[in-house]
Structure 1
Amino acid sequence: MVGLRGADRAYNTQRTYAGRIALYLSYCIDKGVDWTRPSFAQLVAMMRWLVDEPLPPRSRRPGREPRFRGEGTANATMGTIGEFLTWCSLQGWVPPSVISQLVRPKFLRYVPPGFDAGEDGQRRNVRARLLKYRVAVPGYEWLSDDQIRCLADVTTRARDRFLVLLLAVSGMRIGEALGLRREDMHFLPDSTTLGCKVAGPHVHVRRRRNGNGAYAKSRHPRWIPVEDETVDLYTRYRWERDEIVGSGGVDDCDMVFVNLFRAPLGEAMKYQNTYDLFRRLAGRAGFAARPHMLRHSAITRWVRGGVPRDVAQNMAGHAASSSMDPYTHATDQDKRDAVERVAARRKEARG
């Protein structure tokens, strides 16, 4: 993980990569493969094993259907293994011949919007991965306004309601939200007394090292405006927090989101706490709901609402403009309206 830390990769990325690399090393030990000199055939065999081998059961209750990795997951795992072997090659642990068998030259005939091909098209020549399944690119999962309101309505705590709606209006990543500190919440009409020139209620998102592992993916600080409802929800949450944590002593944690209903009280919430919370909320609401779906929902509303692309990109914390391309979801009503408009025009032409 030294290479990932040196590249300033996000905490979640480091954790995910660690699991994939451990899986590779365990597979090599089990199959008798030299991890420093795997052949192409051996790597292909592992790629097939990833989708054919059942995952460990989550419980020992009989009758549970076995779970398997999807081909997309296998692709991500093999991509991480390729990066790991490439880094090890730079350290002199893996022969360059191992790396050369993982990629092939490829000329990009079609490039994504915003891609800089260079003056002579030199950047169209790339190295493409050989070890990957062909899978359909899934669309981003998002929630409608009604679903977001339903998710907020099934919360029973002011903290949880504030978290849900803050993610839904700000488009923050969950790591950014869990990394917020009280000093980041500029909810006054005028924040000049706080040394901030931004007018109106807003939230600052900054990358820091946090004790709870929360990490802002974007390297660039940004601020996101919020509505009066968000300010009111934060006020209610602060009252709830003071009642629970402040009643037994001094609430000295500067993090915004803290444990209120499980030990240790007043300590910053962690990723697992939040994912458990969203699983419970999704069960009450009756539909899938994860923190990142609220981020996608916010950005989708900005794009569909006519917010300039560069403004939406800044609020989302995307470094590349091409990252905004997937946020154009066609709803069922959009498709129905399109068909009905064409049908209406045909009737007018006939009449």
Structure 2
Amino acid sequence: MQIESHYKKFTLLLVFVAALILVAATNADPVYTDPYKLEYPDYFGNRISIPDHNPTTKQGVYLGRMLFYETKLSSSKTISCASCHQQKLAFTDGKAFSSGINNVPTKRNSMSLANLLWVRNFFWDGRAKGLEAQAIIPLNDAHEMGAYLDKAVKDLQKTKNYPALFNDAFGSPDVTKDRIAMAIAQFERTLISANSPYDKYLRGEYKPTAAELNGMEMFMNSAEANKNIRGASCAQCHGTPKIYMELFHNNGLDSIPKDLGRESLTGMANDRGRFRVVTLRNIELTAPYMHDGRFKNLEEVLDHYNEHIMPSKSLSVTLQNRPNDVDGKSLGLTATEKANIISFLKMLTDSTFVNNPKFSNPHIKQK
């Protein structure tokens, strides 16, 4: 009898422990069992930036896509992330400065959201460390989204669909600020552009024209007047097959810049007028150009680098003393050379990317 009593107690203890484990599992962080397959070419490299606490899942990506196009995140209920980042324009908006909920222009040009999977510091001055941090800033900005995030959390919690979507993505129906940022970040990491004519050329699937090949050579070559090598020195800042390197440069727009750029973040005089080097993928679609949208077209951009670099103490070394001609003071590109470079830049337009239904507005029924 005594043995039987101990057996019953032991059985009850096991049941109790099992119940505790079940409760703990229910309240624990969800197990991510449905990963989103991020597809990109080997030549992009695998130094991707995904934090351990926010793995990319199908459920998280779908929720992020919903939120990216969700106007309920703005105080006016009229602005979403997609307002300043339109897919047809490679996730820019075609304006020198974007307009927020009160139609006050933002401080800088809207950047393209392509191939963010390899980026670690966001915005023109690099002030956001990671996509999760980046997503929070415009949501909390008074001019962009109306600093409405706290109220937006409550609004979404009251909807019929969002609690279920948050449950699918994060294991509970709770809508939180951090989860909103995490979901948007997951979606933005899927915005991979890798099927332009340039990519097809790298894969042996596209034969460039003579102008495109000449432009590619000029783009990749550094100007070396003493070696008779013609080049535009573009690849020093925009090199690698991704046509992007995570660098910050003062590219000679002004001798005395109105916008301090990265200096406003670091406090270092050498960072004055330095801004993040942007990706050149889909550059044909992302005008106007530069942090202040001052250049309307690619011709004006080439003219700047060819003829109008403004000297300053913080001018990047890569833009100093790069003539193609002996004793030259500038690149000295001919009209034909500039036209060829633009032909190459247009090879970076990825029609698959800007028409991919996986990136489109899920609130609108597709035909």
With structure 1 as the length reference, what TM-score do the two structures score? Answer: 0.25
Could you say which structure has the greater relative contact order, defined with CA pairs below 8 angstroms and 6 or more residues apart?
A: 2
With structure 2 as the length reference, what TM-score do the two structures score? Answer: 0.24
Question: Whose radius of gyration is greater, 1 or 2?
Answer: 2
Q: From the two aligned structures, give the one with the greater helix fraction.
A: 1
